[in-house]
Amino acid sequence: MSDAAIPRAMRQPFGLKLASNLFLIFWLLLAAFPLFWVLAMSFKSPVDAFSSSAAEVIFGPETLAKGDGLSLIDMALGIAFIWLSIKAAVKWLMPMAAGVGTLQRVFSWLVICAGFAVMVIVGLFVVLPWILAPLNALAGPLGTPILGLTTEHYYAVWVENAFWQNFNNSLLVTAGVVTVSLTVGTLAGYGLARSGSNLAFWILIVALVFRALPHSVLVAGYLPFFINSAEWLRPILGENAPTLYGQPLAVIAVLVSINQPFTIWMLRSFFQSIPEELDESARVDGCTHFQAFRWVIMPVMWPGVITTGLFSFLLAYNDFLVTSLLLDASNQTMVPAIAGYFNRETTTTDQVEAVAAAVSITAPLFLLVMVFQRQIVSGLTAGAVKG
């Protein structure tokens, strides 16, 4: 909506506009500052990172003294590179995302994001340093490092401590939870939305109470069963009875269930906003409920499903209680792996590495929100939330 289209009476007096913009800026600072600070800490030597002086955390004198730092040229080229890669992404990658269906588009977006991430990482950490080393040597004062910055913690986390394994595990668990949760939840949400029976109502109410349960209670109940499942299931399944403890699949089932109440509530509200006449007319034409669902509802349900899917994603990706207890170390996801840095026997270096790991696990969330931001809003607008 351009300014000209706004009726005169809705235009805002200057004072209000100023106040509203000031408030907005204040909020943005509040929202971003703690995260910015964590980002700054992750690039500093332990002494600087936990320094009580803000300047030291930002400029990192101790880090600089150790020989890790950026010169003006580094910064200029680095910023130029990031700027160019964003431009490139917008110009070349964005058009490629034009798929046919929503689903295809989602996949092509994911592929593009991954490509972009690889490009940036290779560019920033391999190509640029290679160009910059001789350049800095030549440039004299401009080439002298002034801003302390080290990537050693990221190196330690991703290479030495094999964080990529945890990353893979997180991907597996999250992808599993989102897929299963949406499949099961969409069916249930549709069923609940189209049935006015008391049973449907009570299922929803009970689900709501389930959603309010403290997770720690449930999780502690799972552990003995998961560990002994091979013994208990042997009479039924014979020698192939699995030990559920440590299995990502079992954890996916648990997370899906814990997340079901929220999923079915959101999807039910969303399906309620799709006019009932739509599938009824299909049924008049001789479709069964399932056919109506498949051919009439599915094509129009994606905005709501994507929004709900994002909430499932956040739950699975950020979960700590379930994953830390039910997964063994080789299948551990990222969040409990980070908590390991903060246990009783850690060093300050461990803590800064944990900060670097924390930034690392936040990065995919950044990308995700950047890409799906519009879908979240449009999905919610379309009626995924109707109370």
Site for another protein in 279-338 (CB under 8 A): 288-290, 314, 317-318, 320-321, 324-325, 328-330, 335-338
Residue 244 CA from chain centroid, whole number: 26
Pick the stretch among 74-82, 83-91, 110-118, 196-204 that binds another protein (CB under 8 A).
Answer: 196-204
- Nearest-approach distance from CB 275 to another protein, in angstroms: 14
Name the residue nearer to another protein (CB basis): 136 or 359. Answer: 359
179 part of the interface to another protein, by CB under 8 A? no
Burial level of 58, CB count in 10 A (0-12/13-18/19+)?
Answer: middle
Name the residue nearer to another protein (CB basis): 136 or 307. Answer: 307
Burial level of 138, CB count in 10 A (0-12/13-18/19+)?
Answer: exposed
Of 120, 257, 287, 291, the one binding another protein by CB under 8 A: 257
Name the residue nearer to another protein (CB basis): 136 or 270. Answer: 270
- Nearest-approach distance from CB 17 to another protein, in angstroms: 8
Residue-wise DSSP of 134-155: HHHHHHGGGGS--EE---HHHH
Of 205, 237, 278, 363, the one binding another protein by CB under 8 A: 205
Of 77, 128, 227, 233, the one binding another protein by CB under 8 A: 227
Pick the stretch among 75-83, 93-101, 131-139, 238-246 that binds another protein (CB under 8 A).
Answer: 238-246
Q: Provide CB contacts within 8 A for 326, sequence distance 6+.
A: 219, 222, 223, 226, 245, 246, 250, 251, 254
Binding-site string for another protein from residue 144 to residue 173, where x marks contact by CB under 8 A and - marks none: ---------------xxxxx-xx-------
Sign of CA dihedral 154, 370, 260, 240: negative
Name the residue nearer to another protein (CB basis): 231 or 285. Answer: 231
- Nearest-approach distance from CB 175 to another protein, in angstroms: 17
Name the residue nearer to another protein (CB basis): 88 or 223. Answer: 223
Record the tokens describing residue 4, joined without a space. Answer: 């000209």
CB 311 within 8 A of CB 334: no
Q: How many C-beta atoms lie closer than 10 Å to residue 296's C-beta?
A: 19
Q: Residue 166 carries which side chain, given as an amino acid letter?
A: N
Name the residue nearer to another protein (CB basis): 72 or 371. Answer: 371
Instruction: Annotate 228-243 with b (16+ C-beta within 10 A) or e (fewer).
Output: ebbeebeeeeeeeeee
Of 60, 69, 185, 304, the one binding another protein by CB under 8 A: 185
Record the tokens describing residue 151, joined without a space. Answer: 């990537």
Q: Total number of residues binding another protein (CB under 8 A)? A: 131
Record the tokens describing residue 110, joined without a space. Answer: 């994911």
270 part of the interface to another protein, by CB under 8 A? no
Binding-site string for another protein from residue 102 to residue 141, where x marks contact by CB under 8 A and - marks none: ----------------------------------------
Of 18, 20, 96, 278, the one binding another protein by CB under 8 A: 20
Query: Strand pairing of 69-70 and 147-148?
Result: antiparallel
- Nearest-approach distance from CB 53 to another protein, in angstroms: 7
373 part of the interface to another protein, by CB under 8 A? yes
CB 306 within 8 A of CB 185: no
Of 98, 100, 138, 209, the one binding another protein by CB under 8 A: 209
CA–CA distance, 87 with 367 (Å, rounded to integer): 16
- Nearest-approach distance from CB 46 to another protein, in angstroms: 5
Question: 222-230 contacts: CB < 8 A, separation 24 or more?
Answer: 222/254, 222/322, 222/325, 222/326, 223/325, 223/326, 226/250, 226/326
Q: Which residue shows structure tokens 């580094």?
A: 74
Site for another protein in 26-65 (CB under 8 A): 27-28, 30-32, 34-35, 37-38, 41, 45-47, 50, 52-54, 57
Binding-site string for another protein from residue 62 to residue 101, where x marks contact by CB under 8 A and - marks none: ----------------------------------------
